[in-house]
Amino acid sequence: MKSKRILSIAVFIIALFSYSQLFAGNYYQIKVYSLDNPGQEERVDNYLKTTFLKAAHEAGIENVGVFKPIETDPDYGKKIFVLIPLEDLNDVVKIDDQLLQFELNSGNDDYINAAHDNPPFKRVETIILKAFSEMPNYHKPAFDTPKAEQIFQIRSYEGPTEKLYHKKVEMFNEGGEVALFNDLGFNAVFFGEVLAGANMPNLIYMTSFKDIETNKKLWEAFGAHPKWEELKNNKAYANTVSHIDNWLCHPTSYSDF
């Protein structure tokens, strides 16, 4: 009787572990720092490198990505994107708790104790996303090129209505757009539905490339692919996107990605 009970408990633990693994990595947080000048960029860089990433790692977040628009992007020098994969939404609170401890003992005085008339940033936006069903976990790419050459492309698609937005999400999942990206080798990092953010309803995804030439080559292949022709001409998915934001970024030297 005792052995049966132990076996039942063991089965329950294994099932619980399997369940947690199935849904691990299902959420993301993106922090977007808007900057006014190079001095702010330097202060945010130092804070992220020496304080924020350490706090996130201490909270159990293994990989945190930090990205900046490339030199030819209109937002070059004006934004810093931070990608934080979450096992569950409670991780947001865990990071904040760790940050409080790190900031109390941090040397980042020019960021943490910045004067009201000399702030380290213009604004900070926080976006919470849920992973697409067709890509429930993030992918960390590995390239043989220097980080200064690698391209991480961030795209946000806004929908004119919530119903049409959900059709665009369907187009990615059931329609096969995610599969097309994967088949062509876009090295997608994540696809996510925005649950909280400034531009809802919208989705955001990130693809990655070893260099800008590969980025251009793959987008040309995507645009000419028969599957994309089929999808974009499918009336069920017509008028599902009202606005697109697009950033070509390099990872910072201290980024985990």
Residue 203 is part of a domain; what is its CATH number? 3.30.70.100
- Grade residue 117 by pLDDT with cuts at 50, 70 and 90: very high
* pLDDT at residue number 20: 39
Quick check: is 15 in a domain?
Answer: no
Does 233 score more than 90 pLDDT? yes
87 versus 159: the higher-pLDDT residue is: 159
Cβ within 8 Å of residue 13, ≥6 positions away: none
Q: How confident is the model at residue 7 (pLDDT cuts 50, 70, 90)?
A: very low
Residue 109 maps to a domain: yes
Number of domains within the chain: 1
Is 136 in a helix, a strand, or coil?
coil
Which of 82, 75, 32, 86 is closest to 197 using CA atoms? 32
Please state, rounded to an integer, the average pLDDT across all residues of the chain.
90
Tokens of 136: 């429930």
Residues 189-201: pLDDT tens digits? 999 999 999 999 9
Judge whether 17 lies within some domain.
no
Residue 29 has pLDDT above 80, yes or no: yes
Q: Is residue 219 part of a domain?
A: yes
Output the pLDDT for position 35. 98
pLDDT at residue number 98: 86
In a domain, 133, yes or no: yes
| Host H or E run for residue 10 | helix 2-22
The domain in which residue 246 lies consists of 25-251
**Assigned domain for 223 exists:** yes
* pLDDT value at residue 5: 45
